[in-house]
Amino acid sequence: MLDIKFIRENLEQIKQTCEQKNCRVDLDKLISLADERGRLIQQTDEIKAKKNQASKGIATMQGDEKQKAIDEMQTITKEEKTIDAKLREIEHEYGKLMLLVPQPCAPETPIGKDDSDNKEEYKNGEVPNFDFEIQDHVTLGENLDIIDIPRAAKVAGSRNYYLKGAGAMLEFAILQYTLNKLVAKGFTVFNPPQIVNYQAMMGTSYFPGGEEQAYAVGVDMGGDKRAPKAENTSDTKNNDSETPKIPFDQKYLIGTSEVPVASYHMDEILDESALPKLYAGYSSCYRREAGTYGKDTHGLYRVHQFYKVEQVVLCKNDPEESKKMHQMLLKNAEEILQDLKLPYRVVNVCTGDIGQGQYFKNDIETWMPSRENYGETHSCSTFLEFQSRRLNIRYRNKEGKISFVHTLNNTAIASPRILIPLLEVYQNADGSINIPEILQPYMGGVQKIEK
């Protein structure tokens, strides 16, 4: 979320960002609500000051004078209730709009409508040339009895899969190797909750707007608990602004461990000396993939359940520090692909393909022979203080000044998608698959998957 002061001072830029990111939000209404909210807060403060002053005076009064003062106090209290009711209404609408305002992109972000306008930055590794007719990962997996999609569809529906035997072991090997690599780099590993509340989804900017992609779990028990306050900004007071009602026990399956890991320090004030926080979240992830019917449906590319090791960083509120952390996260992901000896390219994601809260984003796309193209396997995102304002994560520097942290995240590895290039690049003419040397120790020394 952005600071309302920043929005006011950069209104035309925010309007342009809304167009570039395809975000719909009535900014003129937001400013009007902010003005009205400010006036009502000022009136509330004035009434409270009057009541405090009157209370002190009443204690020293007698007779008719005291009764008159009490009557005036009652009139002021009624006025206060009226203003409070109006303020709650205004803050409700104001809070909803604030959650929809997008973050402006970094100057180096390409202008574009969709992923076809992403800009290639560089490539690494050579695309393999096969002297035999290649098979895709599904055919390879089925022939080796390590992937079973038909039975998964029977049990769980489309876009589900079974990994079996060496296929499951290969996935575990990749995940464990990645965790070990990050631990060696100073990351703290998390096995976080996979079911979270609305506040975590909202705080990491997946809600509102991404509800259709999330699996909701829980039973509506008729509760009246509401979603959390919509704003934590340095220039406003705590308020009772609310997002729409949700059942008190409504929870959501995470689509990435970024959600619970980035939310770990929610409503905390850290010490600057403890930054940066380097976290690696390992979890199952769940996405409905709503609206993607017919797109990348073959095999393991776009599925409902998968595993990820996600890098999450909390650092000082400094653009240069964020840039440094971004490059570090990106390098970690690249090193993993280099260790696996998989060819890839890094792209600069354009305005039409970048998320609402993302300031800058790189994708890593790995070569997938059956697609005769690169396919996205990793994303690296800088949010500045967009998430930390929503999550209310701050830090105190040596001078005692309190600021919001900057947050970043990056996919270290995601499976089974990474199995697509791995199985296809390492295939042999006889349908067997070589195990990358770096993973063989995690496979009990197995060098090849074969019938």
Query: Among all residues, which ones are annotated catalytic?
Result: 287, 302, 376, 379, 417
Under DSSP, the state recorded for 354 is S
Among candidates 336, 403, 372, which has minimal Cα distance to 174?
A: 336
Residue 305 forms beta bridges with which residues? Answer: 286
3-state SS, one letter per residue, for 88-150: HHHHHHHHHHHCCCCCCCCCCCCCCCCHHHCEEEEEECCCCCCCCCCCCHHHHHHHCCCEECH
SS3 content of the chain, % helix, strand, coil (to 5): 40, 20, 40
**Rounded distance between C-alpha atoms, residue 373 and residue 410, angstroms:** 22
Q: Where are the beta strands (DSSP E) in 320-451?
A: 344-348, 360-368, 373-384, 394-396, 402-404, 406-415, 433-434, 448-449
Token pair 């890098």 is at which residue? Answer: 311
Within 8 A by CB and 6+ apart from 196, the residues are 251, 252, 254, 259, 260, 263
CB 101 within 8 A of CB 16: no
CB 416 within 8 A of CB 138: no
Within 8 A by CB and 6+ apart from 290, the residues are 212, 213
Q: Residue 313 has which token pair? A: 């960083």
Q: How many alpha carbons lie under 13 Å from residue 198 in its C-beta half-sphere? A: 19
Q: What is the C-alpha radius of gyration for the chain, rounded to an integer number of angstroms? A: 27
The alpha-helical segments, DSSP class H, found in 252-299 are 258-262
Token pair 């995690």 is at which residue? Answer: 442
Q: Does the CA dihedral 240-244-249-254 come out positive or negative?
A: negative
- Report CA dihedral (447, 422, 122, 179) to the nearest 10 degrees: -80
Residue type at position 55: S
Q: How many alpha carbons lie under 13 Å from residue 394 in its C-beta half-sphere? A: 13
Residue 396 forms beta bridges with which residues? Answer: 271, 402
CB 240 within 8 A of CB 230: no
